Structure 1
Amino acid sequence: MNNYIKEAILARANEVIQLRRKLHSEPELSWEEVKTTEFIANYLEDLQVPYRRMKPTGIVAEITGGKPGKKVALRADIDALPVEELNTELSYASQVEGKMHACGHDAHTAMLLVAADVLNSMKEELSGSVRLIFQPAEEAARGALAMVEQGAMTEVDHVFGIHIWSQMETNKIACTAGPQFASADIFHVAFQGQGGHGAIPHDCIDATVMASSFVLNLQSIVSRTIDPQQGAVVTVGKLESGTRFNVIAENAKLEGTVRCFEPAVRDHIEEQLSHYANHVAGLYGGKAVVEYTRGTQAVINHEESAALVQEVAVDCFGPDVLFDEKPTMGGEDFSFYLDYAPGSFALVGSGNKDKDTEWAHHHGRFNIDEDALVTGAELYAQFAWSYLLKV
């Protein structure tokens, strides 16, 4: 059956490319994936694979095998980003101004659809069943939770996902046990001072100075209060303050993100953010209000699952396919599925200098080497088959 899967995926190589290009040209943002959901539903109907529409978008489908066994879930995310497509010369460039599949979710969806086609064609040989999760709003870090709340992980024994990765050479596969993606949180800090004339600072409390001091001192949370062997990043991405060149600002607002792998480190940084903000504000005679929102958890690959991905990858593509990619500080809400079943999340390389596909994810020139689509589709299908066969 492994050879059957490989040959069946290769026979659909052009199809997976065309599916991805169709999706790429019609991007939809988080929670707005109405046309994308309809496209997936129509494809599954043609295969006669039963599915259920989720609210407000997304689909969960089921391929029931001809023999009893466990249930493995395969997940693909379907949303795009509010990024302007810069690859306007492409025949399949985004047709929607200000929206683009700049992270590869179009590829994930296309790969899982083709894998579903192949798995469905051999369903009588499956020992168990395959759940297909087409998830919305990954970029909003809330789509996985919504799917779980609507039963996407009910009775699932194992879960597997893939992300196309432009930072890796095309067709390389990385899936190691332990941390893969970091937790990703958002913080907002509002400083309140007392405004006034720029020429009379002694009668004012300058919110811009408070915010600036906070930004500069904030980095010492990581550099001086966290074990250097425990990775963490604190970034301020936005700061707004003031209204005019000669007016001392009464208010300043900033927002940023926190990334790390360890829950204890996450707790510590959240506590320290409030500590620093309140003390900086107090130093200057102002006030601070901190809002800390927890986003995705860290993606921690289960050891046995990651080992199976590696085994499947080597069996299907040869020993040179494996790549030891270091954990990334990027966030992924696939982490929430791992609260309900063991599993793993693999990276499939799509970076090719000759094809100009090494641009960073979320960049307006992001694109993928479409040779990687066949690899990803096969990895989805081969993993599902191997997992069900082994258990």
Structure 2
Amino acid sequence: MRVNYQYVSPVLREKMIQYRREFHRYPEVGWTEYRTSARIAEMLESFGYEVYIGKDVCDEQTRMGVPEQEIRIQCEQRALEENISQSYMKRMKGGYTGVVGIIRGNFGKNIQAMRFDIDALPICEVETEKNKTYSSVHEKVMHACGHDGHIAAGLGLAEILSQNREKIDGEIRLIFQPAEEECRGAASIVRRGWLEGVSLFLSGHIGIQCREIGMVAACTGGFLATTKLNIHFHGQASHAANAPEKGRNALLVAAVFTVNAYGISRSSEGDSRLNVGRFISGTGRNIISDSADLEVETRGENAKVNIYMRDRVESIAKAAAQMYDVDCRIDRVGDVGTAKSDEELIKMCKSHLDLMGIGDKYIENGIFNASEDAVTMMNEVQKNGGKAAYFMFGTELLGEHHQNTFDFNEDVLAIMAETYSRILLKK
């Protein structure tokens, strides 16, 4: 397949591949992306950007699902051992990750913004013939969704913009967002004010429903509203043989909850999803379990369906706890709604892809069929009169998203950076 590149040179293409492989090798989960954020900030500064990091990026009170302090400290120490600067760490300490880079052109007062997610997943990577030179060095952490590619394309775009300031209308904000997985990070960036005054907002994802290199889809639907829940049951430990009646079995309650949650009647008002993704309980076979921790998510085709699923899950958890005299605590640690790309931007993208020679592979009504934290940013921009669009960039995949063999065709990075450049830069 031949693509007509105006901005992405062969040298930049190779740079983006190397960026991607570096970030893939050092993955970090949400709110612990210390090395990742530091490297992004370093590169943006080298391109001449005005760079913001730490509490300048994320509102302290709006962060969701922040890891426990012990985990954050371990990740901070690991990042320091991997040679990030003390000055960056001082500003990010406590889980204030993420970076915003600003570049300004020579004319206009327009403000445009891009979002690139930067976090990885708690998955143990399987080494393959393809990834053996860049597989994860962090135990049980992996870029299994393509966010490493998003960072690389974002940095490629950053370099292109720095070399074409005369074509920038006003100001462009490149937002490298932490904690996209489980939809925990975007709200804090919105609250910090980074979407204020933005007239055009773009974001996108590698793969998802697009599985052919050169294919691009504008998402006009299929963003699933979602809520992420941490559910904790607390009972009373006791000897399983000598005094079982003196125990209050949290594991049993968690099992009762799980079975009944999966039995929730589906709604006639839209598609829905439910997943109990993590279940931890018990200390030994001869001990009545006194605690159980579950990580649960609900999703809905629209906000109403998701709220229905969320409320039923919470009701079942409380009822199961009451049945067995066990305490129940429910924490909402992630939340996002639905969105739709603006038709004006969908048509604009088609004209640029025609010039790139891949317009015949463009899908104007792509369905995302998953949840995306960028929706919070899209809705904020559109609410204030701006335009927003979200794209899927096609690539063949090795393994599915969130599988331990996940990988993709790195040619997609150049297409992603070129597409964004053509939309953002004036001719």
TM-score, scaled to structure 2: 0.76
Matched, 1:7 2:6: yes
Aligned to 1:120: 162
Gaps of 5+ in 2: 56-91, 383-387
The answer to whether the 8 A contact 1:195-1:204 is kept is yes
Of residues 88-97 and 64-73 in structure 1, the stretch that sits farther from structure 2 once superposed is 88-97
Matched, 1:35 2:35: yes
Residue of structure 1 aligned with 2:177, choices 124, 132, 135: 135
Query: Distance between the aligned counterparts of 2:205 and 2:402, measured in 1?
Result: 13
The aligned runs of 1:171-186 (5 Å cut-off) are 171-186=214-229
Query: Distance between the aligned counterparts of 1:116 and 1:245, measured in 2?
Result: 55
The answer to whether the 8 A contact 1:186-1:293 is kept is yes
Query: Distance between the aligned counterparts of 1:244 and 1:210, measured in 2?
Result: 17
Aligned to 1:289: 328
The answer to whether the 8 A contact 1:80-1:103 is kept is yes
The residue type equivalent to 1:16 in the other structure is M
Give the drift of 1:101: 2.1
The answer to whether the 8 A contact 2:218-2:389 is kept is yes
Query: Aligned to 2:28, what secondary structure does the other structure show?
Result: coil
**Count of residues in Structure 1 that have an aligned counterpart in Structure 2:** 374
The aligned runs of 1:262-277 (5 Å cut-off) are 262-277=302-317
The answer to whether the 8 A contact 1:176-1:307 is kept is no
Query: Distance between the aligned counterparts of 1:221 and 1:365, measured in 2?
Result: 32
Between the aligned residues of both structures, percent identity stands at: 28
Query: Distance between the aligned counterparts of 1:194 and 1:46, measured in 2?
Result: 57
> Is the alpha carbon distance of 1:32 and 1:246 closer, same or farther for their aligned partners in structure 2, counting shifts above 3 Å?
closer
Query: Distance between the aligned counterparts of 1:150 and 1:175, measured in 2?
Result: 28
The answer to whether the 8 A contact 2:213-2:395 is kept is yes
The aligned runs of 1:1-391 (5 Å cut-off) are 6-11=5-10, 12-55=12-55, 56=92, 57-87=97-127, 89=129, 90-139=132-181, 141-165=183-207, 168-190=211-233, 192=235, 197=240, 207-223=250-266, 226-227=267-268, 229-245=269-285, 249=289, 252-282=292-322, 284-304=323-343, 305-316=345-356, 317-322=358-363, 325-329=366-370, 331-342=371-382, 343-351=388-396, 357-385=397-425
Of residues 242-251 and 257-266 in structure 1, the stretch that sits farther from structure 2 once superposed is 242-251
> Is the alpha carbon distance of 1:196 and 1:35 closer, same or farther for their aligned partners in structure 2, counting shifts above 3 Å?
closer
Query: Distance between the aligned counterparts of 2:289 and 2:418, measured in 1?
Result: 57
RMSD of aligned Cα (Å): 3.2
The residue type equivalent to 2:360 in the other structure is P
Give the drift of 1:76: 1.0
The answer to whether the 8 A contact 1:236-1:257 is kept is yes
> Is the alpha carbon distance of 1:105 and 1:25 closer, same or farther for their aligned partners in structure 2, counting shifts above 3 Å?
same
Give the drift of 1:70: 1.9
Query: Aligned to 1:177, what secondary structure does the other structure show?
Result: strand
The answer to whether the 8 A contact 1:9-1:377 is kept is yes
Q: What do the CA deviations read for 1:294-318 (whole angstroms, capped 9, x no partner)? A: 5130341233344444454445322
Query: Distance between the aligned counterparts of 1:47 and 1:248, measured in 2?
Result: 59
The answer to whether the 8 A contact 1:186-1:257 is kept is yes
The residue type equivalent to 1:320 in the other structure is K
Give the drift of 1:30: 2.8
Of residues 139-148 and 129-138 in structure 1, the stretch that sits farther from structure 2 once superposed is 139-148
Q: What do the CA deviations read for 1:95-129 (whole angstroms, capped 9, x no partner)? A: 33433322212211111111222223222133333
Q: What do the CA deviations read for 1:357-379 (whole angstroms, capped 9, x no partner)? A: 33122322211101111111112
The answer to whether the 8 A contact 1:235-1:258 is kept is yes
The residue type equivalent to 2:6 in the other structure is E
The residue type equivalent to 2:263 in the other structure is S
Q: What do the CA deviations read for 1:173-200 (whole angstroms, capped 9, x no partner)? A: 1223234344242241526479664599
The residue type equivalent to 1:38 in the other structure is A
The answer to whether the 8 A contact 2:217-2:366 is kept is yes
The answer to whether the 8 A contact 1:189-1:277 is kept is no
Of residues 62-71 and 300-309 in structure 1, the stretch that sits farther from structure 2 once superposed is 300-309
Query: Aligned to 1:19, what secondary structure does the other structure show?
Result: helix
TM-score, scaled to structure 1: 0.82
The answer to whether the 8 A contact 1:183-1:261 is kept is no
Query: Distance between the aligned counterparts of 1:368 and 1:146, measured in 2?
Result: 30
Give the drift of 1:245: 4.4
> Is the alpha carbon distance of 1:179 and 1:53 closer, same or farther for their aligned partners in structure 2, counting shifts above 3 Å?
same
The residue type equivalent to 2:160 in the other structure is V
Query: Distance between the aligned counterparts of 2:327 and 2:213, measured in 1?
Result: 48
> Is the alpha carbon distance of 1:68 and 1:95 closer, same or farther for their aligned partners in structure 2, counting shifts above 3 Å?
same
> Is the alpha carbon distance of 1:139 and 1:218 closer, same or farther for their aligned partners in structure 2, counting shifts above 3 Å?
closer
